[in-house]
Amino acid sequence: MMTIENKEELLFHWGTEGSSSKLYKIKAGRKVTFVNRFTFFDIDEDDNETWQNGERQYDSFAAYWIEFTELPHWLHYHPVFVHPDYKLFIRAYLINVPQDSLTKGELLKLMYWLEEIVNES
C-alpha cells in the first residue's frame, strides 16, 4: 500500500491586533487544496475573553483573495508574509483598487500594502 504525504506551503499570512490568518496550499498526491487557518479574539455573552480558531477550504488562491478583499476593513490588516509566487497577483490587484472611493487613511494603508509586497521577503 502506498501512502500519500501531505505537503503544506504557506502562501499568505496577515495579522492585526486580535486576529490572524494563514493560507496554505496543501498537496496530497495530485490533489491540491487551499486552506485558510485563522484565529481571532472574541468576548462571549458573559464578557469572557476567548480565542477562536477556525479553518476554511478554497479551490484556489484567487477564490480566497476575492473573499478576503470583500472584508470591510481588509486594508487595515497587516501583510506578514506573501509567497513570492503570489506577489505579482496581489500587486496587480492592489494597483487596480479604485482609489477615488478610498479615504485618506485607506490610501495610506494601500501604499503600505504595496510597499510591504515589494519589500517583504
Could you read off the pLDDT of 54-66 as tens digits, one per residue?
A: 999 999 999 999 9
List alpha helices for 1-121, DSSP H. 61-69, 84-95, 104-119
Q: DSSP labels for 34-50? A: EEEEEEEEEE-TT--EE
Q: Is the pLDDT of residue 37 over 90?
A: yes
**Band of the pLDDT at 112, cuts 50, 70, 90?**
very high
* HSE toward the beta carbon, residue 43, CA cutoff 13 A: 3
DSSP lists the bridge partners of residue 53 as 39
Domain residue extents for the chain: 6-119
* HSE toward the beta carbon, residue 83, CA cutoff 13 A: 13
* pTM of the predicted model over 0.85: no
Average pLDDT over residues 10-19: 90
